[in-house]
Amino acid sequence: MLRLGRREFGPHERVIMAIVNRTPDSFYDRGATFRDEPALARVEQAVAEGAAIIDIGGVKAGPGEEVSAEEEARRTVGFVAEVRRRFPDVIISVDTWRAEVGEAVCEAGADLLNDAWGGADPGLAEVAARYGVGLVCTHAGGAEPRTRPHRVTYDDVMADILDVTVGLAERAVALGVPRESVLIDPGHDFGKNTRHSLEATRRLDEMVASGWPVLVSLSNKDFVGETLDRPVKERLIGTLATTAVSSWLGAMVYRVHEVAETRQVLDMVSSIAGHRAPAVARRGLA
């Protein structure tokens, strides 16, 4: 079972986490949701299309202009509070690696801290424990926040992913984070080349077998673009194919840009697996 905010999810549920970037320089939307009203409209649309979690980020993952903790908080804290006011039942996640930002967004109503940089600030898990919120424990290959990988090597990439993410998850629980609110993430593209991310996808069932709910952040990433030689705006098909494979292998939460398309893929895989009835079943019965 996964418990986040007011929601509980069973082992066969597939959960969508919709991305809402409060940045002017996001690699995908180039600042489309930097201002409040477009961002709130994005939240409303994502919820209507089937997202249970809204993931709010104030700093883009890649290199770029320096963003202080104060500026990151300015971009996210008030917005978290407004989303909580308008959408009381939605699960609010904040993508941050900084404990001080984590504390501020938890005060504003966040339910989940998405630590995409693999414990770069160990205090973030302590914040999650103090507020009783969830935590995403990610493998980033030891990379510093906002850096790109360069000639990274692993003897066994999945062994390293498991060692790091399970270790972070166990530390979080030892600190007091509710066990049922901790997820692990292989960290596609983070501290990895394309072959590493493909292998991590191929072996996701090993993460699932650890017993921790698995979150994957696949949406329009470079490993998809390089695999198919497609620019950012032409990676949806590759993303959805990777989503289908990840769902079949047991990943539970999907951090995405395109919610409606992802919902259809996840529902279709769940029905093939026998965990979801068809929405309509008339063929051959009339």
Encode pLDDT of 230-254 as tens digits. Answer: 999 999 999 999 999 999 999 999 9
What is the band of 103 on the pLDDT scale with cuts at 50, 70, 90? very high
Question: H or E segment at 214?
Answer: none
Q: Residues, the chain, total?
A: 286
Q: How confident is the model over 45-80, as pLDDT tens digits?
A: 999 999 999 999 999 999 998 999 999 999 999 999
Residue 118's pLDDT is what? 96
CA 54 to chain centre: 9
Residue 21's nearest CA partner among 11, 12, 31, 13 is: 31
β 134-138/112-115 pair status: parallel
Q: Confirm if 189 and 225 have CB atoms less than 8 A apart.
A: no
Hey, what amino acid is at 236? L
Q: What percent of the chain has pLDDT over 70?
A: 100
Tens-digit pLDDT profile for residues 75-100: 999 999 999 999 999 999 999 999 99
Q: What is the largest CA-CA distance in the chain?
A: 63
Question: pLDDT exceeding 90 applies to what percent of the chain?
Answer: 94
Distance between first and last Cα of the chain: 39
Mean of the pLDDT values across residues 176-190?
Answer: 98
pLDDT of 115 > 90? The answer is yes
Phi-psi region of 178 (alpha: psi -120 to 50; beta: other; left: phi over 0): beta
- Report the pLDDT value the prediction gives residue 26, as an integer from 0 to 100: 83
- Between CA 176 and CA 18, with CA 184 as vertex, the angle to 5 degrees is 105
For residue 20 the two structure tokens come to 């809402």
DSSP 130-163: HHT-EEEEE--TTPPTT----S---SSHHHHHHH
- Judge whether 255 counts as a catalytic residue: yes
Query: What's the pLDDT tens digit per position in 250-271?
Result: 999 999 999 999 999 999 999 9
pLDDT for 30: 73
DSSP H helices, the chain, are 36-49, 69-86, 99-108, 123-131, 157-175, 194-202, 204-208, 222-228, 236-248, 259-272
The pLDDT score that the predictor gives to residue 31 is 81
- Exactly one of 171, 203, 235, 255 is catalytic; name it: 255
- Structural domains of the chain sorted by starting position, each given as residue range(s) with its CATH number in brackets: 2-273 (3.20.20.20)
Q: Predicted confidence band at 29 (pLDDT cuts at 50, 70, 90)?
A: confident
Of 171, 192, 221, 235, the active-site residue reads 221
Q: Residue 15: pLDDT band by 50, 70, 90 thresholds? A: very high
Residue 286 has pLDDT above 80, yes or no: no
- Is the pTM higher than 0.95? The answer reads yes
Distances (CA, A) of 212 to 96, 173, 177: 21, 12, 13
SS3 51: coil
Q: What is the pLDDT at residue 28?
A: 80
192 is catalytic: no
Cα(256)–Cα(261) distance, integer angstroms = 10
**If we measure between CA atoms, which residue out of 238, 177, 186 comes closest to residue 213?**
186
- Going by C-alpha positions, the residue among 248, 250, 232 that lies closest to residue 183 is 250
How far apart, in whole angstroms, are the C-alpha atoms of residue 98 and residue 76? 13
Residue 17 pLDDT greater than 80, yes or no: yes
| 3-state secondary structure (DSSP) of residue 17 | strand
